[in-house]
């Protein structure tokens, strides 16, 4: 029992506070446990945060991919709205506004629409973006300008190449992931902007 | 003696447990990392196959006249007829272009040579019989309209389009240390039907 008072914390609780303090001072066992825990915890924290950040990062890559592909798909099908052989726009009007569907709008740009989607992904407080203005999508349609103006972004015919490029300045969840040391080099992967490009072929155009 | 053992074990318990569990923790981390990565790549490949199928399902309003068999909705470029060879090539090339940036890094293979002939007895069977092969199959599905279809809507029996199916091999990153072999993303499929109706 005398040994337990010197070396163990369990017996020290029985012996009282004074004995506890003396037990800690005399014994390095209790301290070594704490030091060990302090040494181990950052390692475990890194593994957990790295896994969480990787998952969230890939989730946002998927979201950016999907947004980009959605715009490419929209552009590649948009020509059908204006082609007399694939729609009957002249006979269909919006029941509320009375405006015909498929009317050419020279101010509409699909990449502006895509950029809005990306900026929405940043969140209300730009939680997931380093800078909301850097989230941007640009789209090009091969031959899309001929005769119809640049803004419309609709191909004159089917088979035209559409390409959209997106940049999303992703902001990691964990502060550990932003630092080279605490992320053990993972910061280059997790803090670099998400960039993706998607190509598509128009399935129809203004002229078929 | 009993207390002496406890004395010795107390100081070394946490470091010892930590060292013993390092492989377990790294293994769990690697498994989680690679699983997330494969899930992402499967989504990536599926979406690229989807847009490739849509590209192939584009149509051409053929030139000519009614008398010469023109004015028909065709798959692919003008002059392809109803074989849709061009449509099949477009499907493959677009998929390749959209996944090229990840070749060698996260995707190991896809058929390097475009397959212009639809597999027989069918894509599903071929994919099922070759789950561990890098495949990229695309074929025309449904019944393309025949004859002159000027100013006629495509009927129910005329629904047709492009279907693609593929297998991709994904290299492991962390799990490779533990001897886990490269994994397969098997049997990804996408179908896109022609949306145009030949109405005047």
Pick B129 or A59 by higher pLDDT: A59
pLDDT, tens digit, for every residue of B77-100?
544 444 567 778 888 888 988 998
Predicted model pTM: 0.73
SS3 sequence of chain B = CHHHHHHHHHHHHHHHHHHHHHHHHHHHHHHHHHHHHHHHHHHHHHHHHHHHHHHHCCEEECCCCCCCCCCCEEECCCCCCCCCHHHHHHHHHHHHHHHHHHECCCECCCCCCCCCCCCCCCHHHHHHHCCCCCEEEEEEEECCCCCCCCCCCCCHHHCEEEEEEEEEEECCCCCCCCCCCCEEEEEEEEEEECCCCCCC
Q: Any CB–CB contact under 8 A between A199 and chain B?
A: yes
pLDDT of residue B25: 84
Looking at B25-34, B48-57, B177-186, B188-197, which range is the least confident one? B188-197
Assess whether pLDDT exceeds 90 at residue B103.
Answer: no
Assess whether pLDDT exceeds 90 at residue B41.
Answer: yes
Neighboring chain B residues of A194 at a CB cutoff of 8 Å: none
Which of A47, A61, A200 is facing B40, going by the closest CB pair?
A61
Q: What is the mean pLDDT of chain B?
A: 73
In order along its 208 residues, chain A shows pLDDT tens digits of 444 444 444 444 445 555 555 555 555 555 566 777 777 777 787 788 888 888 899 999 999 999 999 988 888 877 655 544 444 444 445 566 665 555 455 566 778 888 999 999 998 888 889 889 999 999 887 755 444 444 456 666 667 788 899 999 998 887 777 776 666 666 777 788 999 999 988 776 655 4
User: What number is the ipTM of this complex?
Assistant: 0.72
Assess whether pLDDT exceeds 80 at residue B166.
Answer: yes
Q: Which of A62, A84, A203 to mutate to test the interface with B (most CBs of B within 10 A)?
A: A203
Distance from CA of A155 to the nearest CA of B (A): 13
């Amino acid at each position: 029992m005398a040994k337990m008072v010197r070396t163990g914390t369990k017996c020290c609780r029985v012996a009282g506070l004074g004995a506890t303090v003396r037990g800690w001072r005399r014994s390095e066992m209790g301290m070594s446990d704490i030091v060990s825990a302090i040494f181990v915890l950052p390692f475990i924290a890194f593994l957990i945060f790295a896994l969480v950040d990787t998952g969230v990062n890939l989730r946002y890559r998927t979201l950016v991919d999907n947004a980009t592909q959605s715009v490419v798909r929209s552009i590649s099908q948009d020509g059908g709205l204006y082609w007399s052989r694939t729609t009957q726009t002249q006979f269909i009007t919006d029941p509320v506004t009375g405006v015909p569907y498929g009317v050419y709008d020279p101010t509409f740009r699909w990449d502006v629409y895509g950029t809005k989607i990306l900026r929405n992904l940043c969140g209300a407080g730009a939680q997931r973006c380093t800078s909301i203005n850097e989230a941007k999508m640009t789209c090009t349609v091969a031959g899309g300008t001929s005769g119809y103006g640049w803004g419309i972004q609709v191909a004159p015919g089917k088979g035209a190449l559409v390409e959209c490029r997106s940049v999303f300045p992703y902001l990691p969840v964990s502060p550990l992931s932003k630092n080279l040391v605490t992320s053990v080099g993972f910061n280059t992967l997790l803090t670099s902007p998400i960039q993706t490009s998607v190509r598509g072929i128009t399935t129809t155009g203004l002229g078929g | 003696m009993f207390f002496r053992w406890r004395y010795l074990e107390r100081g070394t318990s946490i470091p010892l447990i930590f060292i013993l569990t390092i492989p377990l923790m790294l293994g769990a981390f690697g498994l989680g990392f690679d699983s997330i990565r494969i899930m992402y790549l499967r989504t990536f490949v599926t979406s690229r196959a989807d847009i490739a199928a849509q590209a192939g399902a584009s149509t051409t309003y053929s030139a000519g006249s009614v008398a010469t068999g023109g004015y028909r909705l065709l798959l692919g470029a003008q002059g392809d007829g109803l074989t849709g060879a061009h449509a099949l090539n477009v499907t493959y090339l677009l998929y390749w272009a959209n996944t090229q940036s990840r070749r060698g890094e996260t995707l190991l293979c896809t058929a390097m040579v475009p397959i212009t002939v639809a597999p027989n007895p069918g894509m599903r069977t071929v994919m099922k019989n070759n789950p561990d092969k890098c495949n990229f199959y695309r074929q025309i599905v449904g019944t393309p309209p025949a004859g002159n279809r000027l100013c006629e809507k495509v009927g129910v029996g005329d629904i047709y389009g492009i279907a693609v199916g593929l297998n991709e091999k994904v290299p492991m990153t962390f799990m490779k240390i533990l001897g886990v072999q490269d994994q397969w993303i098997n049997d990804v499929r996408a179908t896109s039907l022609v949306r145009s109706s030949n109405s005047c």
